[in-house]
Structure 1
């Protein structure tokens, strides 16, 4: 009866009946067929290969041995014989300081030496005269003494001869003392001459070693003042075929750095080239800047091609650990978490693990959660894996997955034409 009435009503109202039928069909379609998702997960396969753990830092290139060449005397620079990047050899004249004033000192010192030598010659002549007089007086005293013993000379005559002998002895001592003073005067004058001659030689600024001039701080006409400290005039890189990188490593990473570790670095001048170095020294003195503590690590660099120049900024990666032919997953897979709607059992699992002991917590620190792609792209399976060496690009997996299984690494928004990654889910946030 109800069906008969319904059919009769449909025949009387065909337009309204058709509209109601369309609405019912649309509702049924919406309930039966799921709505298209606005996102999808990107998966990558588990593979075998190398894993490298690196410490990133930055630093400046320096010459292996940089020598500052200065001046020990004051004066005006009259000549400069080298320029930037000039190759020099040990002993080569780099510049010259006006020698006029110092040359006058040398002349004066030589005159003082000559005067002292003349004084010494006079003193030595006086010694000869005094010696002769002393010998004459000695013989005369002996004669007077013999005559006195025979009674031919009075006591006054003996006293007079003795007095003459004493005066001759005193004159000889005085002459010898004057000669000694003359020798001392000569030594002093010669020392002053040597000092003046040394300063004269220092007016010629010489290269202490062979190398390349990397900095020039003086020009002709510059006045050099060396009163309180030695002014630097040039900087010479002794050997540019070998250089150093002074890298500043954060205190959180310095514990992983060891001497002789492999280092890769790039410079802005050659962005497509990767240079190789090794850790040569770890400075134990800390540097603090804006409450950030870092340590200086010295890297030894081979620069036989001559591409690297002092002062370049190096972007450094210190390889602190490597493993080859190990099972690995992309590093983002360790951090990535699917949308909360696609992992409904996670809260339950977390409650079960909330009362872990210390041993279990330590074990948990060596494990990680990754998500395996399933048949349904929006129903991934969570997997607990044991991790080994963690690198910047890949993480070693000791156990928990098989090779070629696909792990989720990020989420992609299908509504963006440029196919940009959704950062919120790529970071693993809910």
Structure 2
């Protein structure tokens, strides 16, 4: 009986020992699995925090317009008789562009001129007769009035004839003409546009807070989509004498030389007005910054614990400043040369092991340009 009890106790002890070993073995496996799942390496891309020069500037939008530009029309109606120039050609001031039919007007002008010539002859004859008292002074005075009236009618009719000829009011380049020979035109119908392209204006608006940062003669830079790699230089020509009461903006006019005729009136333009002096800031891609209400931060890629070569994430709070394109200026919180996580930081926390993959470049252009698809 005693022997049987000893055997049973041994069996029970062995069972408990086996259970304890199994529990410890499973616990170890679970701890290893949890440890491996707790902080797996995260794939991110990184950039070096480097200083660069920042020029504070004001940016506005506007449109080019010619210093001299007009849609040309005639103030009299008529039928187009002759067109003397082609669309898109350069013309000089005073060049004849178009004639309306004016035979009747010319004939009337000749008739009035003949009448005026007749009155002039009569006046001259009566002035000779007056010297020998053959006519009275009243007759000579009447002849003089008749001549002046006739000459006034001639001048009036000459103006009508001249108004049926369209001349270039200034030198410039013609646009596409809108009329053809034989077409009847009403008064004021646009015939062609004429633009002087040597110099162009840009009118743009700035907030009233910027008035003390802009002055006449200050340099401005213009960017247009047609020439994405070129900046056109101009200068402030005038600042409006009042602020718009609705928008609280002030209108500014800049002038640009356009000797190469690359720019055209009506083009949409971005205007940059440089203000203050350039400054140096640590510069990062905007994708590297985690923006939060309690403060902005970045994740740095730093070496792990002693004896380990793996890089780990360390969060650092920063103060950001100006932005330009894909970049943001860092005022404080990071030193030049630091390795900063540029993408993938949303899955990081302090101490997360990092796997660096910079195969795909990060957007980091101060003046990004849209790509046509």
TM-score computed with the length of structure 2 as normaliser: 0.70
- Work out the CA distance in 2 between the residues paired with 1:255 and 1:411: 43
Q: Secondary structure at the match of 1:58?
A: strand
| Residue from 10, 14, 18 that aligns with 1:7 | 14
Q: Secondary structure at the match of 1:380?
A: strand
Superposed displacement of residue 112, structure 1: 2.3
| Residue from 277, 281, 300 that aligns with 2:233 | 277
- Work out the CA distance in 2 between the residues paired with 1:10 and 1:243: 95
Q: How does 1:20-419 map to 2 (within 5 A)?
A: 23-30=26-33, 32-33=35-36, 35-36=38-39, 44-120=47-123, 123-124=126-127, 127=130, 131=133, 175-226=136-187, 230-238=188-196, 240-249=197-206, 257-259=214-216, 260-267=218-225, 269-271=226-228, 273-281=229-237, 283-284=239-240, 295-321=250-276, 323=278, 326-330=280-284, 332=286, 336-337=290-291, 370-371=297-298, 373=300, 374-375=302-303, 377-382=312-317, 390-392=322-324, 393-395=327-329, 397=331, 401-407=334-340, 411-412=344-345
Superposed displacement of residue 93, structure 1: 1.3
- Work out the CA distance in 2 between the residues paired with 1:182 and 1:420: 95
- Work out the CA distance in 1 between the residues paired with 2:347 and 2:264: 48
Larger radius of gyration: 1
C-alpha contact 2:52 2:283 (8 A) present in aligned 1:
no
1:53-80 CA deviation, whole Å, 9 max, x = no partner?
Answer: 3434333233332244332433222111
- Work out the CA distance in 1 between the residues paired with 2:296 and 2:146: 92
Q: Secondary structure at the match of 1:197?
A: helix
Superposed displacement of residue 86, structure 1: 1.0
C-alpha contact 2:64 2:267 (8 A) present in aligned 1:
yes
Q: Which runs of 5+ in 2 are unaligned?
A: 1-5, 305-311, 349-356, 363-373
C-alpha contact 2:222 2:233 (8 A) present in aligned 1:
yes
1:336-384 CA deviation, whole Å, 9 max, x = no partner?
Answer: 348x9xxxxx7xxxxxxxxxxxxxxxxxxxxx8654625464442335x
C-alpha contact 2:234 2:257 (8 A) present in aligned 1:
no
C-alpha contact 1:57 1:249 (8 A) present in aligned 2:
yes
TM-score computed with the length of structure 1 as normaliser: 0.62
C-alpha contact 1:372 1:405 (8 A) present in aligned 2:
no
The CA RMSD measured in Å over matched residues stands at 4.3
Cα distance change, pair 17–419 in 1 and its aligned pair in 2 (3 A) = farther
- Work out the CA distance in 1 between the residues paired with 2:29 and 2:95: 96
C-alpha contact 2:288 2:340 (8 A) present in aligned 1:
no
Cα distance change, pair 115–304 in 1 and its aligned pair in 2 (3 A) = closer
Q: Which has the higher helix share?
A: 1
Cα distance change, pair 65–121 in 1 and its aligned pair in 2 (3 A) = closer
| Count of residues in correspondence between the two structures | 334
C-alpha contact 1:328 1:395 (8 A) present in aligned 2:
yes
Superposed displacement of residue 185, structure 1: 0.8
Cα distance change, pair 117–264 in 1 and its aligned pair in 2 (3 A) = closer
Superposed displacement of residue 88, structure 1: 1.3
- Work out the CA distance in 2 between the residues paired with 1:243 and 1:80: 28
Superposed displacement of residue 220, structure 1: 2.0
Q: Which runs of 5+ in 1 are unaligned?
A: 133-171, 341-345, 347-367, 422-430
